[in-house]
Amino acid sequence: MKNYEKYKKLYDWKKPQKRTWPDNEIKKAPIWCSVDLRDGNQALANPMTLEEKVEFFKYLVKIGFKEIEIGFPAASETEYKFTRYLIENNLIPDDVKIQVLTQSREEIIKKTFEALEGAKNVIVHLYNSTSTIQRKVVFNKNEDEIKKIATDGAKLITQYIDKYPNTNWYLEYSPESFTATEMDYAVEVVNAVLDIWYSKIQNKPIINFPATVECSTPNIFADQIQYISENIIKRDKMIISIHSHNDRGTGVATSEMAILAGADRIEGSLLGNGERTGNADILNIAMNMYVIGVNPELDFSKMNELKEVYESYVKMPISPRHPYIGELVFTAFSGSHQDAIAKGLQSIEKNKDEFWEVPYLPINPADVNRQYEPIIRINSQSGKGGVSFVLKQMYGYDIPKEMKQEIGYLVKNQSDKSKRELSVEEIYDVFSKEYINREDKVKLIDFNIKLENSNSTNLEIEMEINGSKVKKQEIGNGPVDAFTKILNKIGYNFEFKFYTQDAQDKAINQVEKANAITYVKLENENKEIWAIGEDKSTVKSSLQALISAINRMVN
C-alpha cells in the first residue's frame, strides 16, 4: 500500500471565516429530486426498457416525489421516446415536475425542447464541467472558455423557452465536478449563469452543486456549500441543490451536512444506485430524518413493496444490511441484543410510551410494514432473551424468568450442532419436544376428580408406565397435591420448587392451541427439572406438566 504517497488531499482553499453549519439541525425535509431514471438508469448494465421506465416513474410518483429527472432525451432515441410517452399519455401529475439533462450545445438543446413540447412543468438541467483537471485534461480550455460554455447554454435555453410559452419552465445549472473546482471560480461561473437567468425567467433558478466525485470528507463539502451560499448573488431568489456521489462511501453524510450548510434540495436515487459507487441514497437520508421526528415527505411505509419494485426494475440485489430495507437490519443474533430488544418491546407495550425507545431498534419495524418475526433470529450466538422472545411473540409462551437460560442453552446447542441459524418453526420444535406434554415412559390415560370438602380433593388417575397400565387414587388439598403424593408413592421422589399457570397469550403463529399453560420446576437429587403442560383444561394442563417433568427426570 505504499502507493498512497502518490495521492494528495483536495487543494487548499479559502474556507468560510466562521463555520455556522455545525450548530444547525435538520428540521424539515429538503426538496427531493429522484435521478433513478437518468443517473441510476444509465449506470445499469442492462438499462430499463421503456415499459419498465414508465412503471418505475409511476412508482416514484406514488412514493411522493414531486421532481423526477427522467433522462437525457437528446442522447438517445429510447430516452426521447420515453419523454414523449409520458407527455402524450398524460402520465405526469400536475404537481410533478419532470427534469431533463442537456449539454450546452444548440442541437442538443433544440432536440431537448422538442421532446418536452406539451409538458406542463419542466426543469431543464444544463451542465458543464468546471474542475481544474477537466479543464486541463478533457477540454483543454481556460477558465474564460469554460465559463462561456455555461453562459452560452444559459442564453440558448432562455431563447427556446420563448418558443414554448405553454409550459411552466424551471431552469437548473450544474457546475459538474464542483468539488474539485476552485471555489472562487465556481462562484464566478454560477453568478454569470444566474445573471442571465434572473432577468429572463419567473421561477427561482436551481443551482445544483454535484459531488461528482467525492474527494474530501463530508465536512469539507459542507464548508463549500456554506461558502457558495455566502458569495452567490441574490441567494434568497434561487435554490441551492446538491447531487452527491458515493466514492468515499459518505454520500449520505455529505448530503446531510450540506443541508445543515444551507442546501434546499437533494438529487439522489433510491438505495443509492448511480454511476460508479452510486449516488446519495434518498431512502437512507429520508428515513434518517424520520427517526429524529422530522417528516421526510416521502412515503416509505411499504418497505417490502419497495424492495420488490426495485429489484424487479433495477435488477440489482439489495444488501441484507442495507439501512431500513435490508433483510437483516431489524434482526439481532447477539444474545445481549436480543434480551435488550425483548425488554424494550415489553416496556413499550406495558407503559404505552408516547415515544418509541427500544434498544437496538431505532424505529418500529411496523412503521415500514416490516414484521416483528424477523427482528430476532436464533443461532449459536443467541441468548436466553432472544429465544424467549420468539416463543412469546410467535407462540404465546410467557417463559418464567428462571427457565429462560436453560431453554436458551438448549436452542443454542441445537443451532451449534446444525451449524446454522434456526427457523422459528425449528425453535418451537426443539422447545416443545423437550418440555411440553412429554410421554416417553409415563403417559396420562384418564383421570377423575371428586371434591371431598372445600380443602380436600380426591384424584383418581389412570396412567401407562413403561407400557403397563396403572390406576391410583389419592386425597390432597388439590389435584396437583394429590398427584404429587401418588407419584411419590410410586417411587418418583422430588420436591416442588416452582409452579405457575397462565392463559396462553395470543401470538402471531398461534392457531387452534391449548390455552392453559402450566410451568413447573421439580428438584430430584439436587437436579432441577423444568417442564410444561398444556391443555384446554386447566387441571389436565397441571397434571401433564408433572408427567412431563417425571419423563424428563427419568429419561
Longest dimension (CA), the chain: 109
In tens, the pLDDT along 10-59 reads 766 667 778 999 999 999 999 999 999 999 999 998 999 999 999 999 99
- pLDDT for 2 equals 82
Beta bridge partners of residue 522, listed in sequence order: 496, 529
Q: ∠435-437-438 over CA atoms, to 5°? A: 70
- For every residue of 276-321, DSSP letters joined together read TT-B-BHHHHHHHHHTTT---SS--S-HHHHHHHHHHHT--PPPTT
- pLDDT for 492 equals 93
For 428, the enclosing helix (H) or strand (E) is: helix 424-435
113-127, 200-214, 331-345: least confidently modelled range: 331-345
pLDDT at 335 over 50: yes
- A 10 A CB-CB count for 267 gives 31
- pLDDT for 265 equals 98
Distance of CA 187 to the CA centre of its chain: 38
* Three cell numbers, residue 322: 442495507
* Average pLDDT value for residue range 359-371: 90
* Cell 468515499 found at: 248
Q: What DSSP designation does 210 have?
A: E
Q: What DSSP designation does 414 have?
A: H
Cβ distance 479 to 543 under 8 Å?
Answer: yes
- pLDDT for 62 equals 98
The side-by-side arrangement of strands in the sheet containing 495-503 is 495-503, 516-524, 527-535
pLDDT at 270 over 70: yes
Q: What DSSP designation does 204 have?
A: P
The side-by-side arrangement of strands in the sheet containing 468-476 is 442-453, 456-465, 468-476
pLDDT higher at 268 or 502: 268
Report which of 359, 295, 296, 365 is spatially closest to residue 329, judged by C-alpha positions: 365
In tens, the pLDDT along 108-163 reads 999 999 999 999 999 999 999 999 889 999 989 999 999 999 999 999 999 999 99
* Cell 409538458 found at: 119
Under 8 Å CB-to-CB from 297, ≥6 apart: which residues?
Answer: 29, 32, 64, 286
**Residues of the chain with pLDDT > 90: what percent?**
74
Q: What DSSP designation does 329 have?
A: T
Under 8 Å CB-to-CB from 355, ≥6 apart: which residues?
Answer: none
Backbone angles phi, psi at 15, to 5 degrees: -80, 165
pLDDT at 374 over 60: no
Cβ distance 233 to 194 under 8 Å?
Answer: yes
pLDDT at 507 over 70: no
- pLDDT for 418 equals 85
Q: Is 453 helix (H, G, I), strand (E, B) or coil?
A: strand
pLDDT at 382 over 90: no
The beta strands (E) that lie in 153-276 are given as 168-176, 206-211, 239-244, 265-268
- A 10 A CB-CB count for 448 gives 10
The beta strands (E) that lie in 317-396 are given as none
Q: Average model confidence (pLDDT) for the chain?
A: 92
pLDDT-derived band of residue 513, with 50, 70 and 90 as boundaries?
low
* Cα separation of the two ends of the chain: 61
Under 8 Å CB-to-CB from 353, ≥6 apart: which residues?
Answer: 347
Backbone angles phi, psi at 421, to 5 degrees: -70, 145
Beta bridge partners of residue 378, listed in sequence order: 422
Domains of the chain (ranges plus CATH)? 25-313 (3.20.20.70), 335-434 (no CATH), 442-554 (3.30.160.270)
pLDDT-derived band of residue 336, with 50, 70 and 90 as boundaries?
confident
pLDDT at 510 over 60: no
What is the rounded CA–CA span in Å between residue 523 and residue 521? 7
pLDDT-derived band of residue 380, with 50, 70 and 90 as boundaries?
low
In tens, the pLDDT along 401-450 reads 899 989 988 988 888 888 888 888 899 999 999 999 999 999 999 999 99
- pLDDT for 505 equals 60
- pLDDT for 11 equals 65
Report which of 160, 231, 235, 240 is spatially closest to residue 201, judged by C-alpha positions: 160
- pLDDT for 375 equals 59
* Average pLDDT value for residue range 362-382: 76
pLDDT at 459 over 70: yes
- pLDDT for 98 equals 98
- For every residue of 481-497, DSSP letters joined together read HHHHHHHHHHT---EEE
- pLDDT for 13 equals 67
- Report which residue type is found at 334: S
Kindly list the distances between the CA atom of residue 194 and the CA atoms of 197, 200, 203, 239, 314, in Å, as whole numbers in the listed order: 5, 10, 12, 11, 36
Distance of CA 25 to the CA centre of its chain: 22
pTM: 0.79
pLDDT at 95 over 90: yes
pLDDT at 286 over 60: yes
- pLDDT for 509 equals 54
